Amino acid sequence: MGLFGKKKGNQPEGGCEKKPGEKQQEKPQEMKVYIQGAGGTIVTKSILNGTSKLKWMFRQDSGHGNGWVAFGDRDTQEYVDDAKNMAIVDFNTLANIEPAVVNIFYMPMGSDLEFRSDATGTYFVDTKTGKEIREQVKHPAQIAFEKNLKFLNKEAYPEEFFQMLFTENDKIKVVRAGEADFPTGEVVLADPIAYLGSRYETVLDKRIPAGSYPVELSICRSRIAGLRIAAAKLFLSETPVARYEIAMPKGKQGEDLGKPGVFTFFGVDTGLACFADKRVSEENQAFFEAWAKENPEKNKYTDYFKALFQKSYEANPEVQNPGGSFLEWKLPESGQRTVLFSSGMGDGIYSGYWGLDAAGEPVCLVALFMNPEYF
């Protein structure tokens, strides 16, 4: 079937060469960018020169740009079989001719669409299902993000879900990011840049034995969201987990869930989270208060942590994003360690979950950021 192996219905004979005296469509002086980095799209020259109007679009995994191909309403099979009648242009070039194409940009490979314009407006029809597409289709990552948002911070999840998070497969890799020191055993969950040591950190009701514990990360390699940390685990014991329960803030018990003013989550505003000991948290606050006085014009992340994260990335580039996704950091004076790590899809509110043994003693603490099944 020629270059694309595709023919749309009964097409008029004779191709789409510009007729003598027919005015060619003027090229816009400035191209409006609807979608940044949209990539190349195969478009018939008849659409570009204005001798036909957009009629068909389909998306194929051909290795050419973003996969979208556009045919005009006067294009014949003979016309599209000739490669000289096709051009690869930025998708935004097509969008400047027909802005409605922005609505279907994020549709998947294999999409097959007919463009229509009538008294009800301009829209696409899925030729496989007959469904009309009149609004912008969301990016797959946005759809996954919205699902994930509804999934987070529930009171409980099945034990199998937490096991899945820390079981390696094609999508998940488990990485030991470092060790955290807990001289008092009083546990804090917080954004280490914005809230650690402040009144906005979350101090948990349960305590753990004083000591040093490894932090494991569930690294999700997502096709649509890239490398993300799905969850972090403070590993306390080899004892099997019998059940998981949401981590309550200090002074609150499980029966307080749902009461006014009782919040089980901690906030993230810099895309980072950590487990920390309460004393280490206070030392962290004191250190950076002094640092800020000595460096009044500097930023805690940009001028202090950025270089450290970069070194962490260089040491383990295969499991981190450029710039670094996790860091074992030591307080310069005491040497007490805290492990900092990226929080899933970024800023938000997240909860911790205790893994408990048969006697109800903590075996681990998991900070949950995302459900890999959505990504």
End-to-end Cα separation, the chain, in angstroms: 36
Name, in order, each residue with C-beta under 8 angstroms of 82's C-beta and a sequence gap of 6 or more. 3
Residues 160 and 58 in one domain: no
Name, in order, each residue with C-beta under 8 angstroms of 7's C-beta and a sequence gap of 6 or more. 1, 77
Residue 44 resides in a domain:
yes
Residue 34 resides in a domain:
no
**pTM for this prediction:** 0.76
Count of structural domains, the chain: 2
Which of 137, 160, 184 marks a domain boundary?
137
What pLDDT, in 10s, does the model give residues 35-92?
999 999 999 999 999 999 999 999 998 777 999 999 999 999 999 999 999 999 999 9
Are 45 and 89 spatial neighbours (Cβ–Cβ below 8 Å)?
no
In the chain, the amino acid numbered 54 is L
Q: Output the pLDDT for position 259.
A: 81
Residue 232 resides in a domain:
yes
Residues 110 and 168 in one domain: no
Domain that holds residue 360: 142-374
Residues 211 and 316 in one domain: yes
Q: CA–CA separation, 146 vs 155, rounded Å?
A: 19
Residue 35 resides in a domain:
no
Residue 22 resides in a domain:
no
pLDDT of the chain, 375 residues: tens digit per residue: 344 455 444 444 444 444 444 545 555 458 899 999 999 999 999 999 999 999 999 999 877 799 999 999 999 999 999 999 999 999 999 999 999 999 999 999 999 999 999 999 999 999 999 999 999 999 888 999 999 999 999 999 999 999 999 999 999 999 999 999 999 999 999 999 999 999 999 999 999 999 999 999 999 999 889 999 999 999 999 999 999 999 999 998 877 777 887 788 999 999 999 999 999 999 999 999 999 999 999 999 999 999 999 999 999 999 999 999 999 999 999 999 999 999 999 999 999 999 999 999 999 999 999 999 999
Q: CA–CA separation, 38 vs 65, rounded Å?
A: 9
Name, in order, each residue with C-beta under 8 angstroms of 56's C-beta and a sequence gap of 6 or more. 8, 70, 71, 113, 114, 115
Residues 243 and 366 in one domain: yes
Residues 206 and 279 in one domain: yes
